[in-house]
Amino acid sequence: MVLKEKIRALISKFQILNKEEVEILVEKTVVDSFKKDTLLLKEGQIPTKCYMVVEGCVREYLIKDGEEKSTAFFMEGDTFTPHSHDSKPSKHYWECVEDCILTISNKSFEEEIRAALPRLEAVFQEIAIQKINKAKEEWSEFITSSPEERYLNLLETKPLLLNRIPQHQIASYLGMKPQSLSRIRKRLANKKV
């Protein structure tokens, strides 16, 4: 029962939905648990599922020149979907960096939900537009920021992430080496003293 309450609270954050729609989604939602280090998606696989994090954290990364490059982290309330809906093999990995509880949807689930709630097509489009605009804003800020500004922005926007993710993955996400992140953290700590 507690799990349904968490899902209801997370779905209710999409303020476009009314109470009836939220309840239908809560009742039809498929939920599963995954252990830390579970790979939900590997490079080369055709992605078929979309997820929302109820509990835990999932890392998205790719491998370039033999090195893992973290491209995103998804925490409670975040949704993540394949980069392409045209059955192209994934270039990314999705890895549970903590034990996770995730909602899971696929094409048939989405069709069932759309049949039950035809208005959701417009809602899903609105949510997608919001996510695209947020991603564009974050990307613009990222490419115009210094490494220290990126770290400070992460501290401000996702402070919980820093206690949940290994430093080398945070450094990769910020586009730097772990040693550079250590120097930035040390320099900022010395400024506070």
What does the radius of gyration of the chain's CA atoms come to, in whole angstroms?
Answer: 18
pLDDT score recorded for residue 84 = 66
Cα distances (Å, whole numbers) of residue 78 to 99, 119, 127, 140, 163: 15, 22, 12, 20, 18
How many C-beta atoms surround the C-beta of residue 158 within 10 A? 15
CA distance 59 to 112: 29
pLDDT score recorded for residue 7 = 87
Q: Which amino acid is at 94?
A: W
CA distance 73 to 164: 10
Could you tell me the pTM of the whole model? Answer: 0.86
Cα distances (Å, whole numbers) of residue 145 to 28, 123, 138: 42, 33, 11
Q: pLDDT means per 10 residues in the chain (193 residues)?
A: 83 79 86 96 92 95 94 92 78 96 88 80 78 89 93 92 92 94 91 74
pLDDT score recorded for residue 66 = 92
Domains and CATH numbers, the chain: 2-119 (2.60.120.10)
pLDDT score recorded for residue 165 = 93
28: its two tokens: 């039809």
